[in-house]
Amino acid sequence: LTAIAPGVALLGSRADKAHLVFAQSAGLGHDIPGLLRQAVTSLGGRGGGKGDLAQGGGDRLDLLDEALAAAARVVRGGVPTA
């Protein structure tokens, strides 16, 4: 997805756990691993990555939409990641 046009992809799915994959086009400058760590912490899970790609998950399926929305706000508004 990020190879088609410059951008950020924040993907989530529900299965036995909440799963997240965050990616960005090269050179956009977002802290994708940090952004993912914030999201999976809120889901009671863990994850990681390097550079432009990170993935992880957690047990809190009920908080998946909220975690994705919070990550999108950071990307859109430039809110710093912790």
Dist CA 16 CA 53 (whole Å): 22
Helix (H, G, I), strand (E, B) or coil at 72: helix
What digits encode the pLDDT tens for the residues 16-70? Answer: 999 999 999 988 989 999 999 999 999 999 999 999 999 999 999 999 999 999 9
Listed in sequence order, the residues at least 6 apart from 25 whose beta carbon sits closer than 8 Å to its beta carbon are 2, 3, 5, 6, 7, 8, 52
| Tokens, residue 16 | 């036995």
Domains of the chain: 8-77 (3.10.310.40)
Is the full-model pTM beyond 0.85? yes
Helix (H, G, I), strand (E, B) or coil at 19: strand
Dist CA 40 CA 25 (whole Å): 21
